[in-house]
Structure 1
Amino acid sequence: MVSSISTASPITWRAHLGAVARLGLPLVGSHLAQVAIGATDTLMLGWYGVGALAAGSLAASVFNLLMIVGAGFAFAVMPLAAGAATRGDDEQLAGVTRMGFWLSALYALLVLPLMFWSGSLLFFGQDPAVAAGAQSFLRIACWAMFPALFAMVIKSHLSALERTRIILLVTLMAAVFNGIANWLLIFGKLGFPELGLEGAAIASLIAHGATLGGLVAYSRVSPRASRRGLFEGFWRPDWACCQQVFRLGWPIGITLLAEAGLFAFSAILVGLLGETVLAAHGIAIQLASISFMVHLGLSQVATVRAGQAMSMGDLVSLRRGAVVVAACSVSFSMLAIGAFVFSPEFLIGLFLSADDARSPAIVPIAITLLTAAALFQLADGAQVVALGLLRGVQDTRIPMIMAAVIYWCIGAPAGYVLGFHGGFGGPGVWFGLVVGLGLAAVALSLRFIRLLPQR
């Protein structure tokens, strides 16, 4: 518990900032490279056609929603592995990681049918052509769920060992593979068939597989990583570790579902307003996702540093680390706000073909949505960093309840009312997101502050 932490051997402010830079920059870079896979899909599908862009955006929202929920077990591995690594407990470190793989595989099997038959199960009320295209995408992309979740588990393991540079390198390589595969398969270049939307799905599958392959290869040959016995006795269960990962992981997954589900719900609501608005939403959400990846990387740094401080019994370092990570998040938020407010036409233009007759109708809608995205930058960063700190101190159940209530009892209804009854359309749905994220940021930050003993 947090109350058991002592104030022995505090780490200096400068050391905390150095640790955030050392761990955070590669993690942030890797998340940006990861989202580049989705951004590249959106970019090239936008060049291919607005219909493909709308279907791809809808399918990506569903896939990302399901993936981020399953990532709860990978996120649970991170604080457990960080504490084990700090104590020098190699058996515990390897055990929680292996059980993270087991639980992730089980989850991927459970959601596979949902994606394969998504047309009738998930896309009721959408434009028939868009729904059919989204299902075609997911019937290929669903197989990427396994390598995507496994890669996230290995990333948590390596982050606990402070081996984050390799995560950045491998993810960058996968993003390059995805871009090349998209170019070849969407447009049919160099003799490859022109597959359009399905080509983008195949490219994403290749990228996730390449990420997993690169991380597994490193984990087997790196002296520091391989000596931990990560793959030794892989099929041997460790029920104590499995219970630990499951206990922390399922509330994290539900919390992620509450947040990601709010965004997926917004995509479905916007889809009811028409293909043009949905295409604008797809562009704006990609840009907002890029900035969010920076906060997500900082959140993972917060989890690792908090887990290390817990293991050392160092309350002062826990507090200082929280302040440093929060300050970095706020600083980046200001940069993102400036980009969204002062350069929206340039950013939106990257995702549209000048030859598409519908592009002029999409741009003003997307500009308005980016204004809303700018409004929730501070709130989004604050709430995800607070969640990272709470996971680091192994507090996941109460934050799960708080997030679910705020996102779905306040944020989602606000978006629906503003969008459909307030006459604001797509921007109204996004302003509902602002309300939910802002309240969550305040509540979760106060939760972390109140958990810390005042000494």
Structure 2
Amino acid sequence: MEFNSEFRINNYELERSDLTSISIPTLRTEVKEFLHLAVPLASAQVAQSLVGFVDTVMMGHLGWETLAAGGLASITFTTLLQTATGMVMGVSPLVAKAYGAGDKLRIKQVVRQGLWLSLVLAVPMMLLIGHLDKLMLQLGQVSATVTLADTYLDIMLWAMFPVLGFAVLRGLVSGVSQARPIMAIVIGGTLFNIVGNYILGYGKLGFPKLGLTGLALASTATFWGMFLALALYILIHPQLKSLRIFQTIDWLKPSLIRELLWIGAPIGISAALEFGQVNAVTYMMGTLGTDVLAAHQIVFQTGLINFMLPLGMSYAATVRVGQWLGKQNLEGVQKAGYVSMFFGGGVMVLMAITLITFSRQVIGLYLDVNDLANASIVAIAMPMFTVVAVQLIFEGVQRTAYGALQGLQDTRVPMLLGFLAFWGAGLLSSYMLGYSFNLGGMGLLIGEVMGIATAAGFFIWRFRQLISKYTTFDC
């Protein structure tokens, strides 16, 4: 047998002669390096999601009407935020590949243009968020709920740029295998947010009780603080300081912006498709009643925290696969991809079991489960947790598989596959099960799970297709 002499992914070539000059990674080494990145990145994502979790818990204690309105605003903002964040995610695989190739100049150029892209994207997103109240009314949401939600969104829109800028800087820091500071900064920001929410939301230490407005102010300040803290870390860390990211301001480079968008735009669209499916389900929940919407918000926010674990792992998968691509090591690419998928699915099995076992206790974090006024919400939310637990397992696999594809800079085909999965299998199933089969909120959630499971299968197939295509043997 003879190894095929050429390996090509997105016009990236690896000649056979290079294979003999690069190290072959062991499984144990890859697991160690993956966990070195995945643990702090996943921890940071969970900690960052606690900003929304804390908001939701405090919304619940302000009243279930506030919880419903805040939940509607939160999922809407999250959908737009994840879409915009995906657009700048091209920074991560490009930095990882440049780091693997030892190209410091390329790293600096990519990050600077990524920050410009963040600013360019933030402005129209802020304008869109500022006018979402009219759209929510047209989609059949209760007027009182929209009014409360709009109060929250009008403040949160100012967090758009720092969140995007943080994503760019995170792509730099994780791309050069320096992920632990991200975890520390995000945990610090989360603690600040908890205190700020308590003071401003409930009116403590002499401040007026601002409710949703106070929660939004604290969260916005938190996002700005995390962005500035990570920028400061880059300025003082010896290795990162040598890159001189902030020494001068580069003007927009259309060619590099196009390259970032060539990779990032499909990621953003894919995020819009996935979160758009969740958003659509949330709006459909709203048509079934405020109690169903409030129950779904509890389940959604809890699932979102768990979702952050595979999301953080997917960032590690992108970096590891991208670094091996930069080193022109095909076996490293394979092992990095499969290791990430194994951990993504395995960890979420454990989280699913935990969620099912302690679902009533989790609901108790948001509402008083012994209060008869909340009985209908508790009754609706309990079975929803079982469905979401199953969803998390598929989520763990599909997110890490998608992260591996990003590392290969393969984003356009997965975008199309995501459309078929989330808006074909998923949203169509939600509508039919929820309305045609009269399963209500449970039917809507089951359809959502079907979309995520389909995406997981598609992304694994795509990764295997790429790898098998470029590791053929001629007998």
TM-score bracket, normalised by the shorter chain, equals over 0.9
1:198 aligns with 2:213: yes
1:69 aligns with 2:83: yes
Mapping of residues 260-275 of structure 1, within 5 Å: 260-275=275-290
Mapping of residues 129-278 of structure 1, within 5 Å: 129-278=144-293
Residue 332 of structure 1 aligns to a residue in which SS?
A: helix
| 1:19 CA drift (Å) | 0.7
| Distance in 2 of aligned mates of 1:229 and 1:243 | 23
| Distance in 2 of aligned mates of 1:356 and 1:50 | 12
**Selected match of 1:282 from 297, 312, 336:** 297
| 1:420 CA drift (Å) | 1.4
Question: Aligned residues: percent identity?
Answer: 32
1:442 aligns with 2:448: no
| 1:327 CA drift (Å) | 1.3
TM-score (norm 1): 0.97
1:414-441 residue CA offsets vs partner (Å, 9 max, x unmatched): 1011111211111110001111011111
| Distance in 1 of aligned mates of 2:331 and 2:101 | 19
**Selected match of 2:24 from 10, 20, 26:** 10
**Selected match of 1:413 from 414, 428, 434:** 428
1:439/1:354 Cα in 2 relative to 1: closer, same or farther (>3 Å)?
closer
**Selected match of 1:385 from 379, 400, 414:** 400
In structure 1, the partner of 2:3 is none
| 1:98 CA drift (Å) | 1.2
| Worse-superposed segment, 334-343 or 160-169 | 334-343
| 1:355 CA drift (Å) | 8.0
| Distance in 2 of aligned mates of 1:422 and 1:196 | 39
Q: Which runs of 5+ in 2 are unaligned?
A: 1-7
1:200-232 residue CA offsets vs partner (Å, 9 max, x unmatched): 111110110111111011111111111112113
Greater C-alpha radius of gyration:
2
Which letter does structure 2 place at the counterpart of 1:316? Answer: E
Which letter does structure 2 place at the counterpart of 1:105? Answer: L
| Distance in 2 of aligned mates of 1:194 and 1:253 | 37
| Distance in 2 of aligned mates of 1:431 and 1:418 | 8
Structure 1 runs of 4+ aligned residues shifted over 6 Å read: none
In structure 2, the partner of 1:352 is 367
| Distance in 2 of aligned mates of 1:214 and 1:355 | 42
Q: Which runs of 5+ in 1 are unaligned?
A: none
| Distance in 2 of aligned mates of 1:331 and 1:382 | 9
In structure 1, the partner of 2:471 is 454
Which letter does structure 1 place at the counterpart of 2:471? Answer: Q
| Distance in 1 of aligned mates of 2:42 and 2:326 | 24
1:21/1:136 Cα in 2 relative to 1: closer, same or farther (>3 Å)?
same
| Worse-superposed segment, 238-247 or 326-335 | 238-247
Residue 434 of structure 1 aligns to a residue in which SS?
A: helix
Residue 228 of structure 1 aligns to a residue in which SS?
A: coil
Residue 234 of structure 1 aligns to a residue in which SS?
A: coil
| Distance in 2 of aligned mates of 1:234 and 1:281 | 45
1:317 aligns with 2:337: no
Which letter does structure 1 place at the counterpart of 2:351? Answer: A
1:374-415 residue CA offsets vs partner (Å, 9 max, x unmatched): 121221111111111111001111111110122112211110
1:108 aligns with 2:122: yes
Q: Is the 8 A contact 1:136 1:198 kept in 2?
A: yes
**Selected match of 2:344 from 321, 326, 329:** 329
